[in-house]
Amino acid sequence: MPDDLPDAVLVSRIRANVERVRDRIARAASDTGRDPASVRLLVATKTQPLAAVRAAVAAGVDLVGENRVQELVAKAPALHDDVAAGRLRTHLIGHLQANKVNAVVGLAACVETVDSLALAQRLSRRAETVGADLEVMVQVNVSGEASKSGAAPDAATGLALEVASLPRIHLVGFMTIGARTSDDTTVRRGFALLRDLRDDVRGQASGTSAARELSMGMSGDLELAVTEGATVVRVGTAVFGERA
Ligand SMILES: *Cc1c(COP(=O)(O)O)cnc(C)c1O
């Protein structure tokens, strides 16, 4: 066997973990009367070596998220064939600095972390320059924790409407990282806030009708997010194990 093929042991371990995560999603969805197919699994691949990412793809994962542009760029060539064949999509789920915009447009299908008009304008200009289309989500800091990026909830609607009006970038929804607390009620309240924002923006002005996604929920809180309407859950640890 050529040694660039994903290691069979790694693939089967990751496949088992992915199945467990899909079961968790399905159970949470049916518990709240939602169609399990309405929730997509995005596998968060930050710090994972290429072999682990390829093993996830071999295990049937079709959506991955990178946090750092550098890692996105480094892994892109090896994943190019899967992306070109439509088997794999990559989202940027980490904070994007203005000076990294050029590297992202054309590589990521979606930037989930737009949190300022200036960043959205840069993405739009770059997409126009290279003739690409780019999906974006507005990241919202629903918990108000200082360590988290994202637009403040009371600024998010205005930002989303402006983002939706820019050329070549397409507002597909909203993203958040849940509150860092063991109190489920607080976590759920944050997710519900993101849903309310989406419902408020969607259909309000031109360019917002596609803004249906709610990217929320991770390994520790995905059930709460699905209960509150997540359409994308971003899972790393439950698929790959603890990060080194
Ligand atoms: C790391 C990360 C995740 C996945 O977190 P886990 O707890 O490992 O599942 C999801 N979203 C973002 C933005 C992340 O940085």
The answer, yes or no, to whether residue 85 has pLDDT greater than 70, is yes
pLDDT score, position 1: 45
180 CB near ligand 1 (under 6 Å) = no
Model confidence pLDDT, tens digit, residues 92-141: 999 999 999 999 999 999 999 999 999 999 999 999 999 999 999 999 99
Whether 143 is in the pocket of ligand 1, judged by its Cβ within 6 Å, is no
Sequence ranges of the domains in the chain: 8-240
- Whole-number Å distance, alpha carbon 51 to ligand 1 midpoint, is 19
User: Is any ligand 1 atom within 6 A of the Cβ of residue 208?
Assistant: no
- pLDDT value at 2 more than 60: no
Quote the CA–CA distance of 155 and 99 in Å, as a whole number.
24
Q: Would you state the pLDDT for residue 6?
A: 61
Fold of 8-240: TIM Barrel (3.20.20)
Evaluate if pTM is beyond 0.85.
Answer: yes
Q: How confident is the model at residue 36 (pLDDT cuts 50, 70, 90)?
A: very high
Distance, CA 237 to ligand 1 centroid (Å)?
8
Q: What atom in ligand 1 is closest to the CA of residue 237?
A: 8
The pairing of beta strand 134-139 with beta strand 63-66: unpaired
Q: Ligand 1 center to residue 41 CA distance, Å?
A: 12
Q: Mean pLDDT score of the chain, rounded to an integer?
A: 95
pLDDT digits (tens, 9 = 90+) for 42-77: 999 999 999 999 999 999 999 999 999 999 999 999
pLDDT number for residue 207:
80
pLDDT greater than 50 at residue 18: yes
List, for residues 165-215, the tens digit of each pLDDT value: 999 999 999 999 999 999 999 999 999 999 999 999 997 877 899 999 999
Residue 232 Cβ inside 6 Å of ligand 1? The answer reads: no
- The whole-number pLDDT of residue 239 equals 98
Residue nearest to atom 10 of ligand 1 (CA): 234
List pLDDT tens digits, range 141-166. 999 999 999 999 999 999 999 999 99
- What is residue 243's predicted lDDT score, i.e. its pLDDT? 82
